[in-house]
Amino acid sequence: MKPAYIRVIIDRAIHRELDYLVPDSLAERISVGSRVRVPFRDKSALATVVATLEQSEAEGIRPIEAVVGEAPVISEPLLELAKWMSAYYCCPLETVMRSLLPQVIRRAEIGWKKQLFVQPSHKIDKSEPDWQKEIEKLRKRAPRQAELLEAISQLKTPIPAATLLRKVSLDNQTLRALVKRGLAELREEAVERDPHADEQFVATTNLEMNAEQVIALSKIEEALASPENARPILLHGVTGSGKTEIYLQGIRAALERGRSAIVLVPEISLTPQTVERFKGRFAEAQDAVAVLHSHLSEGERHDEWHKIHSGRAQIVIGARSAVFAPLKNLGLIIVDEEHETTYKQEEAPRYHARDVAVVRAKIEKCAVVLGSATPSLESYHNATTGKYQLATLTQRVDEQQMPLMRIVDLRQERRKQKAAAILSEKLSQAIADRLEKREQTILFLNRRGFSTSLLCSNCGEARNCPNCSVALTFHRHMARLSCHLCGHTAAVPKKCPACGRDALIYAGFGTEKVESTVAQFFPKATVRRMDADSMTRKQAYRDTLLSFRAGKIDILVGTQMIAKGLHFPNVTLVGIINADLALHLPDFRAGERTFQLLTQVAGRAGRGETPGEVFVQTYTPFSPSIQFARHHDFAGYFQQELEFRERCDFPPFKHAILITVRSAHEGRAKLSAETLVRRLKENLGTEFILGDATPAPLEKLQGQFRFHILLRGEAIMRLSRLVRETLDKLPFPEDVTVTVDVDPYQLL
């Protein structure tokens, strides 16, 4: 049926849907999910069709201007998902659309890459020219043209002109001259930008699985067989228990049923190593695996998206936003490291990709697997209450031992060394021992830079960021102070700007300081650092990992970047320089994060023949998350953490919504926040818990003063709606910004 009218949402925050008339000439090309250009006020705007209508009650209805792109870009299930997100995350549908469709697709400005191909040309008559004769004729007058013609005449098939010119080291001008003489021909062809074109993937076959893995895989197969009533599967497997093998065979099972699959991994784990494992297993069809990550160019993103949308790729592996990959016939979604907080997007729409994956699976009737060595409290709670199924892997593959965890009490160390220790005696002995045995060490610290602050020992003043309420960090390699929140940098003052005395001292330490201390302690060892500062070049990450794997680095110092899923058989020692950093954050998930981090980092030790050893340096050796992690006791940790959450009305027992009110003007931010609390009090009723407006722990960020309002309750959809209604009716001063974060992870 040809639509007479359509309902659209336009790419602007106007918070409502609009109706338009469809001219007969365009009707054939329009359906739900199409992109169109429409007149809006006195301009034109891009929009997405959300419904086709036979009639419309709207007044002053106008016809659309054009259809953008060839096929509908959004399927109906994805549109349904977008509507759910809009309601759940308390956020306008057009904002959701911005995440759902990559910008390059929404705008439809970048197309296929065109490349010039070159081939020999037949001069004048149709008969095969005598190339040798033509070349000789040119030899004297234009030797370079002769040389190029020689290369061209040998081509069996057309090849990209740029490639040929590079090979023979000749320039474009020479080629143009040959074309002018009618001896060579150029033709434009569309080519796909393949970010992995230069790489070779070695085909791999299924690995043998142990009994626990077989059981886990059979749960996936059951879910694929009857997806209508399948519950999400939580795959809880200790580090090194072979979860990836289950994913790979699960995907194979989905493909055999003619269905497609999405694999979500945290951005940081989307390493060449990970991509290789997936591309390698499905190497029989290189095109079958599409990779989506933030380093793609706009053009590459365009091509990968179309590869998925057209059905040529059946497997998508990617970070957070790959949960929206436009696959048809979706059969399986895998969320690896489901506890990772990077799945939560920290700007609108503030969605959590794991939760969106579970909802998409429900809408598309497909299986969903959430995997982790340290499941989030929310997911594990869902598994113990029966909302999810649980599959457990307790054994490391090849029966490797879990690493031995030793706790080092830094309070005693401080007494011994008379200063805050970076390396305890025990840890440095262990490193020396590894160096002797030619085994490798990883040292982990969750903090970048050299010193965390520059203090005046005379007046006590610290150098703070002028825009944010945090201290500036000293980076030795660039010899400057820098703010990790807003990027502000400053020169290091010679004297204290407050009191004028020459009394500045560096306090606290980051990865850069650890690197230099270790290098001093072990001058013969090769030490490398891996963090956001040292890995600014795209290739640096890969190079460092390759040399580490090849055994050219003895000690690797780093942040989270080294904590994730890396597999190095020769690493037998992991040192956690300071386990307390997360514990002191004003965040109800602090204990959970510490437990997860310790377990994940420890999992890097002993993945080969030799058992691993882990040293955890801490000022709070008896804190529960450290003790439970030490004994690899997930169940014990889960139980005590769950009791704490229930006592305090935190997730998973209650949902939370965090409202942030900010302004460059402190008084206006405060007043607006207090007014909002009063209005919410009137509208919410007693089933919800409403906190007061309080200054955020991070009071000032990027020049803005910030106030928090925390709401909690069980009926999150209702709470979300009431918050939206309250906000819509409340006018805020122009310089006040209000953001709503449903199921927040960032409480600073």
**Sites of contact with Zn ion (CB under 5 A):** 456, 458-459, 461, 465, 467-468, 483, 485-486, 488, 496, 498-499
- The amino acid present at 372, given as its one-letter code, is S
Q: Residue 507 Cβ, how far from Zn ion at the closest point, in Å?
A: 14
Provide the token pair at 683.
């509208």
Relative to beta strand 43-53, strand 737-742 is: unpaired
Minimal distance, residue 747 CB to Zn ion, in Å: 19
How far apart CA 370 and CA 387 sit, in angstroms, is: 13
Of 478 and 499, which CB lies nearer to Zn ion in the complex structure? 499
User: Between 620 and 702, whose beta carbon lies closer to Zn ion?
Assistant: 702
Q: Pick the closer one to Zn ion by CB: 478 or 717.
A: 478
Strand extents, DSSP E, 295-388: 315-318, 330-336, 367-372
| 608: phi then psi, degrees, rounded to nearest 5 | -115, -145
CB of 480 to Zn ion, least distance (A): 13
* Nearest to Zn ion of 474, 568 (CB atom): 474
Q: Considering only the C-alpha atoms of the chain, give the largest distance between any 2 of them, rounded to a whole number of Å.
A: 95
Segments of 603-693 assigned E as strands: 613-618, 655-663, 689-690
Q: Which is nearer to Zn ion, 13 or 459 (CB)?
A: 459
Q: What is the DSSP string of 184-226?
A: EEEEEEEE---TTTT-------PPP--HHHHHHHHHHHHHHHS
Q: Nearer Cβ to Zn ion, position 177 or 485?
A: 485
CB of 703 vs Zn ion, minimal distance in Å: 8
Taking the least distance from each CB to Zn ion, the nearer of 231 and 480 is 480
> Do the beta carbons of residue 293 and residue 265 sit within 8 Å?
no
Nearer to Zn ion, 91 or 701 (CB): 701
| Per-state percent for the chain, helix, strand, coil, to nearest 5 | 35, 25, 40
Q: How many helices (H) and strands (E) does the chain have?
A: 23, 31
Distance of alpha carbon 649 from alpha carbon 503, whole angstroms: 47
Closer to Zn ion at the Cβ: 458 or 739?
A: 458
Contact 126, 166 (CB under 8 A): no
Is beta strand 404-409 parallel, antiparallel or unpaired with respect to 527-530? unpaired
CA distance 196 to 99: 25
Tell me the closest approach of the beta carbon of residue 702 to Zn ion, in angstroms.
6
Least distance to Zn ion from the beta carbon of 505, Å? 10
Is the CB of 22 or the CB of 471 nearer to Zn ion?
471
Pick left, alpha or beta for residue 358 (phi over 0 → left; psi -120 to 50 → alpha; otherwise beta).
alpha
Minimum CB distance to Zn ion, residue 532 (Å): 16
Residue 464 C-beta: closest distance to Zn ion, Å: 9
What's the N-to-C CA distance of the chain in angstroms?
53
CB of 483 to Zn ion, least distance (A): 3
Output the smallest distance, CB 485 to Zn ion, in A. 5
